[in-house]
Structure 1
Amino acid sequence: MKTVPALFLVLVAVASATKTHQKRSTTYSATLNDYVDEVVANVQAFVSESSLEPLSIPNVTESFSVKPLLITYSGRLSLYDGEMTGLSSVKRYGDINLEYDGETLSFDANMGVDVATVAYTYYAKLLGSLKESGTAKVTARKIDTTVGFSANLKNYTFALDTVAINSIGRTTAQLSGNVLTDWMANAVINIVIAAVKSTAITQVNSEINSVLTNVVDEANTYVTSLLS
């Protein structure tokens, strides 16, 4: 994967920079925007070519209740065949921060996706007889994430320290394929949006963690091969 040597070059360049500042301070901070942008470009290509685009989202089944007038109705909503797109547009949000304490080089990257879309097929059942199905499309904006790496410059090993989704911006949903009454449509939309903010985002976090862990493992193998 091109990301591995690119990541390695980032760390080598940063390590060289920190060594020139060791006499001035025990902790050195810097920004690595240009280097990380090169890595991000490779990550974008990797995501486009991998199973992350589109990303399969787990099925969801939720009970719900609505009270359009004086009577409360109960039902169940199933969401399946979920897919998310837009992760390949990941980019850097803000500066990349670096710290060096004389042995360990640490940097955290504030990354994000401006727009991601999740599409589900839904099946709603109410009162045992009223059944509706169609497609739900959810758009989530400004998915803000922090990723942190560290490198031990004594033994030349890398580690993934942090993968955390900080916030999700405005989220909207559209239903198609069926004409639902307003009260039922609102119930479906509320559940779909909640599912995206929990199940879908949890899946994204898990997949990103898995991919970056593999990148770090490959980077460690790559460095070992260079030193052997």
Structure 2
Amino acid sequence: MRRLLVAACLLATICAYHIKKHDFEVVIDRVEYTKVSNKYNLPKIVVPQQELVPAIEILKKIAHDREINSLAGTEANLNDYADKIFANIQQFLIHSGYDPVELPDLEAGFNYTLIITYQGELQLTKGWLEDISTVHRGGDVIVTYSTEAKFLEVTVPIAFDDLQFTYEYSAEIMGLGPTGGIDGKIANIEVEVKIGFDVTNLVLSLDEFEIIDTNHIDVNFNGNPLVDWLVNLLTDVITSLLKPVILGIVENIIRGSVEDAIQSINDLIDGILNPTTPVPTSTAAAFFIK
């Protein structure tokens, strides 16, 4: 289901997308996706018990009103703890086969106007995305507490090194059929995550996951040499197609990691507060109850 939602969102984003960066206007009017990898459905991540203890201790203290005064109106820095969690996520992504991760095949129809309107077709196949495991803390992790609402908010900035991608392409434009390979990168992906903790009900929640900044996509063509106007045309089409695909995969994998971690902590808290209620064995939290 998650794969279908990702594909549907990408299709809605791209179809009928207008581009006008050069002396022509391009309209992408059809996009089809195949080979959507099940890797986008992230399995639950198990964080070692020793890495979870600091978070549990903070929540315990807040729940018992021991740090209300010290946190009210102030910000607490949890950089060291966040770095340990990101290190675990990095290792998980590498050892579980998420770096590199396969990109879906794309087939797009487009038209462009050079005095008159022409039709074009583009196929992208055998794509791979690398370096998603470079996910790391992008700045200070900040904790704020509202005494009135009895609500804790943790803001976690997330960043990546440049993400690299490759594809094979085949195009049909004005009777020309260029083929070859492409490689490129997307730089400066920045994500902001806000996690809330309801002190009254002792429940964590993912309140916000937002990709707040990205740089442009660089694309290089390999194989047959192309004339400038064709390079510009294909670059515009490819970047418009790939940016939402790559960002969608990044969000799906990283957001899934955060959601699973939050659910695991909630399960663990419930198991501690209600020892007569066993922690579900299907969750990663069961790993911590020994």
TM-score w.r.t. structure 1 length? 0.85
Distance in 1, Cα, partners of 2:49 & 2:254: 15
Structure 1 residue aligned with 2:31 = none
Q: Kindly state the Cα deviation for residue 20 of structure 1 after the two structures are TM-superposed.
A: 4.6
Tell me, yes or no, if structure 1 residue 44 matches structure 2 residue 83: no
- Answering whether residue 219 of structure 2 is matched by residue 173 of structure 1, we say yes
Q: Cα 1:25–1:137, aligned 2, differ >3 Å: closer, same or farther?
A: closer
1:154-169 mapped onto 2 (5 Å cutoff): 154-169=200-215
Is residue 98 of structure 1 aligned with residue 143 of structure 2?
yes
Q: Distance in 1 between matches of 2:62 and 2:75?
A: 10
CA root-mean-square deviation: 2.6
- Within 5 Å, which residues of 2 pair with 1:34-113? 34-62=80-108, 63-65=110-112, 67=114, 73-102=118-147, 103-113=150-160
Q: 1:142 to 1:218 in 2, by over 3 A?
A: same
Equivalents in 2 of 1:104, 1:7: separation in Å?
20
Greater displacement, 77-86 / 19-28: 19-28
Question: Secondary structure in 2 aligned to 1:124?
Answer: strand
CA contact (8 A) 2:155 2:192 kept: yes
Q: Does 1:126 align with 2:173?
A: yes
Paired residue secondary structure (1:130): coil
> Are the equivalent residues in 2 in contact too, given 1:6–1:38 (CA < 8 A)?
yes
**CA-CA distance at 1:140 after TM superposition:** 1.0
Write out per-residue CA displacement over residues 1-21 of structure 1, whole angstroms, 9 at most, x where no aligned residue: 116763552352366379554
The answer to whether 1:29 aligns with 2:75 is yes
CA distance in 1, matches of 2:224, 2:49: 47
- Match of 2:158, SS state, is strand
Change (3 A) 1:200 1:183: same
Question: How many angstroms does 1:59 deviate by?
Answer: 3.2
Counterpart of 2:252 in structure 1 is 206
Q: Which has the higher strand share?
A: 1
Which residue number corresponds to residue 61 of structure 2?
A: 16
One-letter amino acid of the structure 1 residue matched with residue 222 of structure 2: S
Q: Which amino acid aligns with 1:116?
A: L
Q: C-alpha separation between the residues in 2 aligned to 1:25 and 1:32?
A: 13
Q: What is the rounded CA distance, in whole Å, between the counterparts of 1:79 and 1:27 in structure 2?
A: 51
Match of 1:6 among 28, 51, 55: 51
1:222 counterpart residue number: 268
Instruction: Give the count of matched residue pairs.
Output: 225
SS at match of 2:139: coil
TM-score of the superposed pair, with normalisation by structure 2: 0.68
| 3-state secondary structure, aligned to 2:98 | coil
Q: Give the one of 161, 175, 184 matched to 1:114.
A: 161
- Structure 2 distance, partners of 1:192, 1:153, is 47
Whether the 8 Å CA contact 1:87–1:116 is kept in 2: the answer is yes
Q: Which runs of 5+ in 1 are unaligned?
A: none
Counterpart amino acid of residue 188 in structure 2:
K
- Equivalent residues of 1:150, 1:161 under 8 A apart: yes
Which residue number corresponds to residue 9 of structure 2? none
Q: Which amino acid aligns with 2:231?
A: A
Name the aligned partner's letter for residue 115 of structure 1.
D
Structure 2 SS opposite 1:82: strand
Deviation at 1:167, TM superposition (A): 0.9
